[in-house]
Amino acid sequence: MTPQLSPSELEAGVPRQGLRLTGRVAIDGSEVELTDAYTSVPINWDGEATLGDLLIVAGDYDGSHFCVREICYRQSGGGAASIPNNAAHGINSEVARFTTAGVGRRLRARDLALRSIRQYFRDEAFVEVQTPVRVPSPGVEVYVEAIPSGDSYLITSPELHMKRLLVGGLPKIYQVAHASRADEQGAQHEPEFCLIEWYRAFAGQEHVMVDTEALVRRVAQATIEPPDADSLRIVSDGRQIELNAPFDRLTVSDAFANWADTPDVVALAAENEDRYFELFVERIEPRLTELRRPTFLTEYPVSQASLARAIPDRPDFAERFELYIGGVELCNGFGELTCPREQRSRMEADNVARVTQGKAPYPVDERFLGALAEGMPPSGGNALGFDRLLALCLGADDIQSVCAFPNNWR
């Protein structure tokens, strides 16, 4: 049962918030009786109704109670054999999930966010591209598991194919991509998720960080209600995080020195990677959660950035950055590695590390390495987790609630 909506609300497909109609419907010829916990409302109308039909009712809503006047629309449901009573109470109910649980409102916000992202890239003269989702090589990363698909894999990122487009002559490209990773499920993880990935030729990580700040603000402005031109804030774990001011910067070296009593993070990452990750999770990430401003974590040890180029005057560190807002990692960006020999060496080393950990190696993408050999321009790129950003802006506890069909609702 759906209350009568305005034309704009009908077009948007989003019922008014705060209203929930539950109960049972009794049909006897031209009489429809709506019954809930409080009252029974008989409605006579000129027509027939059968089980499974969609009925739109008109009435008055004072903010807490809805008074039915008439049935104003009927669409045949084809004569359903039965409708489980639990659907009326929101258990496995598509209607309840999209109305009472607020998914419909969030999907409308998702659309607005994607429009704002595409508009930014249009303003910056980017070309939107599409690349395969099923590939012979998913890339070689030690801690990322791809999902097999026949004799190929579902992409964990569109990165390698997008870089081939850079080589081909497209200098500014972006993609709204669906990526997949095995064994990822949690408040901030889904086996299938949405990435905003983009690359700028003849640019570095600084240009891409400027893009990232602008995109975060665009999405926030499009989705946060009510909008405030003077102050743009999100709330995470009860903390207000300011988005209008320039985002902070923090090097990985400073983070480990200040929060993990580790003066030489390069040596730690190279000699005891397990301890590096342990300290990152136990000492660094909790402190990032406490920060009141978005923060770019920069200058990772080169051993932790297999697709990023080394900083020219500091070769132990790489041009890699991640953005944290409210402790949530939102993106992973690079000044891109363009040397084919160095890239092959790193991929082979990562495969050795996978085998050492009891994991299967992945095929090295020879077409990608061949493209690098043709000459990829110096470039910066970033992969931003769209679902995570949207959840932050909407104050959602998990990314499942901003997706139409998360893994637990397939």
Q: What is the pLDDT of residues 125-152, one digit of tens each?
A: 999 999 999 999 999 999 999 999 999 9
CATH number at residue 184: 3.30.930.10
Whether the bond into 158 is cis, omega within 30 of 0: no
The pLDDT tens digits for 76-98 are 666 555 555 544 445 567 777 77
Average pLDDT of the segment spanning 27-39? 56
Mean model confidence pLDDT for the chain: 86
pLDDT tens column, 222-256: 998 877 666 788 888 778 899 999 999 999 999 99
Domain boundary among 41, 72, 96: 96
On whether both 151 and 77 belong to a single domain, the answer is no
191 and 325, same domain (yes or no):
yes
Provide the CB-side half-sphere exposure for 60 (13 A, CA).
3
Same structural domain, 88 and 232: no
Which residue range forms the structural domain that includes residue 48?
2-96
Rounded to the nearest angstrom, the gap between the alpha carbon of residue 246 and the centroid of all alpha carbons in its chain is 23
Last residue of a domain, one of 96, 131, 155: 96
In tens, the pLDDT along 181-228 reads 997 788 999 999 999 999 999 999 999 999 999 999 999 999 988 776
Residue 131 and residue 28 in one domain: no
Under 8 Å between Cβ of 117 and 215: yes
User: Which of 78, 96, 114 corresponds to the end of one domain?
Assistant: 96
Domain match, 207 and 84 both: no
Highest-pLDDT range among 23-27, 179-183, 281-285: 281-285
Pair 116, 193 in one domain: yes
Same domain, 258 and 317: yes
CB count in 10 Å sphere of residue 46: 6
What distance in Å separates the CA atoms of residue 176 and residue 162, rounded to the nearest whole number? Answer: 12
User: Are 84 and 129 in the same domain?
Assistant: no
Is the pLDDT at 14 greater than 50? The verdict is no
pTM, whole model, 2 decimals?
0.82
Together in a domain, 6 and 111: no
CA distance 155 to 160: 10
- In this structure, the answer to whether residues 84 and 156 fall within a common structural domain is no
Of the candidate ranges 29-33, 162-166, 204-208, 388-392, the one whose mean pLDDT is the lowest: 29-33
Q: Where does the pLDDT of residue 287 fall: very low under 50, low under 70, confident under 90, or very high at 90 and above?
A: very high
- Res 11: pLDDT: 45
Residue 314: CB atoms within 10 Å: 13
Counting Cβ atoms within 10 Å, is residue 301 exposed (0-12), middle (13-18) or buried (19+)?
buried
Per-residue pLDDT for 2 more than 50? Answer: no
Burial 189-209 (b: 16+ CB within 10 A, else e): bbbbbbbbbbbbbebbbeebb
Residue whose C-alpha is closest to residue 227's, from 309, 311, 118, 116: 116
Kindly state whether residues 251 and 392 are assigned to the same domain: yes
The number of domains in the chain is: 2
> What pLDDT, on a 0 to 100 scale, did the predictor assign at position 304?
96
Question: Does residue 175 contact residue 131 with C-beta atoms inside 8 Å?
Answer: yes
Judgement on whether residues 113 and 91 belong to the same structural domain of the protein:
no
pLDDT at 38: 52
